Amino acid sequence: MTPDETGKRRNAPVDLEHHVPFAQGANRYCFQHPENKDRCLKVIRPENIEARYHRQPPLKRLLGTARLNDNSQELKAHMQPAIRRLIQAKNESILWAHLPQFYGSIETSLGNANESELIRCADGTVAPTLESFVRSGELSNQLQKAIKRFEAWLAQTRILTRNLLPHNLVVTDRSGQPELFLVDGLGAPAIPQALAVVPGWSDHYIARKLERFHKRMMWEQSNEGHSWKDFQRLR
């Protein structure tokens, strides 16, 4: 648990019982912190973890459900070597240039939540996803440049992610120009993470993720009617 705004440890869980999430994914609800409008609380949807577990082949079930818990995986992802190096070198301005600041785990009335910065736009609204811009055909020249800056940051920092999906990236104009922030999908599976110590491996891994991201963006903008699976095979 991290200190609250007064610098003291919180004794009671944050009450989320009567609050509505501002967003939700397949595995988590996203709430605005009721005591801090600039922080996000991500709460696991346990019923979905159980459903995912039972859909898996018997051998994978032997690995348990912990690896399906996105909050646990996100906590591990923030401990990856690339992030630790930036913090130890006091380069946090670079680290948080395209990642929400992360405050760890906190107890709520709905279970443990991961607490992070809630990315907002200059007008105070919650930042929309990149997916919403892609699907509305609003990929302006400025937004294209923002995508390039995000890609350059990823290559520079060597921070490992899972597949980059437009709905896991948000766009904010709070600095006076569009910038992308990765709000979900941080971290890599165990084997790629272990291989990160091999010279050149991280560069190779990130290049592959960016190549897949470009293909995903093409599919999101395509009017050909192909499924994502078929689109990958055809391209």
- Which of 39-43, 124-128, 193-197 comes out lowest in average pLDDT? 193-197
Give the total number of structural domains in the chain. Answer: 1
Tell me the average pLDDT across 146-150: 98
Is 14 a domain residue? no
- Residue 148 CB: number of other CB atoms within 10 A? 11
For residue range 170-220, list pLDDT tens digits in order. Answer: 999 999 999 999 999 999 988 888 998 899 999 999 999 999 999 999 999
Alpha carbon distances (Å) from 120 to 33, 72, 141, 207 = 13, 25, 21, 29
Q: Which domain holds residue 169?
A: 23-234
More confident residue, 121 or 66: 121
Tell me the average pLDDT across 83-110: 97
Residues counted in the chain: 235
Contact predicate 181/168, CB 8 Å: no
The sheet that has 23-24: what strands, in order across it? 23-24, 28-33, 36-44, 111-117, 102-108
Phi, psi of 169 (to 5 degrees): -115, 135
Split at pLDDT 50, 70, 90, the class of 63 is low
Is 15 a domain residue? no
Q: Is 127 exposed, middle or buried (0-12, 13-18, 19+ CB in 10 A)?
A: buried
Asked if residue 41 has pLDDT above 90, the reply is yes
> What is the per-residue pLDDT for 46?
77
Is 124 a domain residue? yes
Angle at the Cα of 165 (from 160 to 169), degrees rounded to 5? 85
Is 9 a domain residue? no
Is 67 a domain residue? yes
Is 225 a domain residue? yes
CA distance 154 to 94: 10
Is 152 a domain residue? yes
More confident residue, 38 or 9: 38
Residue 172: which H helix or E strand, with range?
Answer: strand 169-172
Q: Quick one: what percent of the chain has pLDDT higher than 70?
A: 92
pLDDT, mean over the chain? 90
Within the chain, residue ranges assigned H as helices are 46-55, 58-61, 70-77, 81-88, 92-95, 130-135, 141-157, 190-194, 201-221, 228-234
Predicted model pTM: 0.89
> What is the per-residue pLDDT for 136?
86
Sequence-separated (6 or more) residues with CB below 8 Å from residue 216: 163, 164, 165, 166, 228
Is 38 a domain residue? yes
Split at pLDDT 50, 70, 90, the class of 10 is low
Split at pLDDT 50, 70, 90, the class of 15 is very high
> What is the per-residue pLDDT for 141?
95
